[in-house]
Amino acid sequence: MTTMTTNQPEVIQRAHELVHIGQLEKAVDLLEEAHAKSPDDDAITFQLACYQDLSGDDDRAIELYELLAEKQPTYANVLINLSVLYEDDGMYDEAEKCLHRLLQADPNHPMGRMYYQHVDGSIGMEVQEEPERRLAPRDLLLSTSVTDFELSARARNCLKKMNIRSLGDLLRTTEADLLSYKNFGETSLDEIKQMLTKKGLRLGQAADEAHEMQKQEILKQVADRVPPETFAKPVTELQLPLRAARALERLGIATVGDLAARTEAELLGVKNFGETSLDEVKSRLAELGLSLRTVD
């Protein structure tokens, strides 16, 4: 197995930033353009495949992963991700071939061994209904223990003390959550972010996806009195006090819609965000005919 390199790190970084603020489609377009200009840039191709998968374009993701899988030596993450997509489509033999190839190169690869057992057990089974069939591989990935990844002892110990046991737990955790923990520093944070980036993932991704769904639900509820452009308004235009603005930035809240999808408890959970800042936020939202999300 080998490591991917790129001549366009700034493009990948910009794509990550776009996804972080909920603009997955723009990130895909940016990477498609970069891929067209530099089709041999494996890191660009891999990141594009990951985001095409996230956007639901499995065919394009498979096409890109297959390009990378043709190379020798190949990348472990390519074979794993491709096997998941093959299994999603019921192509169990193809999925098995990917994992068999991975295990030939690295017989003790923990994720490769786990996935191979799962795919092997799926061969010959009656095909499930589509929603159930698509969830199984994803659930398997999210349940992967963080101890299966190459992290330093310091990072692993911190995650263990924070009760972050699986990849799913990690995707529900933000940078602010990690840095708020005693003895968890920038070095450990960068290490974890790099590990996730190699897999086309990022910290807080699961939480952001949930907030995006909540934002869309709120938009439907107030559609008769609040125009969509209000939701797209940057929170910087609310002219909040510096302390409140920094807290929202740490939470990755970029638009009014992002803010309306949060609860009081989520905001008060941020370091240095108190009742005064909360009242300022609620007042600004009220002026726009909105409020923070409430939990039934």
Q: Could you read off the pLDDT of 19-43 as tens digits, one per residue?
A: 878 788 899 999 999 999 999 999 8
9-145 CATH fold: 1.25.40
Among 29-33, 148-152, 252-256, the range with the most confident prediction by mean pLDDT is 29-33
Nearest to 293 by CA among 238, 245, 251, 256: 256
Average pLDDT over residues 229-234: 88
Q: What are phi and psi of 33, to 5 degrees?
A: -65, -45
Class of domain 205-287: mainly alpha
Checking if the pLDDT of 142 tops 70, the result is no
pTM surpassing 0.75? no
Break the chain into its structural domains and give their ranges: 9-145, 153-198, 205-287
Topology agreement, domain 9-145 and domain 205-287: no
Average pLDDT score, the chain? 80
Q: How far apart are CA 263 and CA 99, in angstroms?
A: 43
Question: What is the rounded average pLDDT of the residues 79-91?
Answer: 83
Asked whether 46 and 15 are in contact (CB, 8 A), the reply is no
Largest interatomic CA distance in the chain: 62
- Report the chain's terminal Cα–Cα distance, integer Å: 49
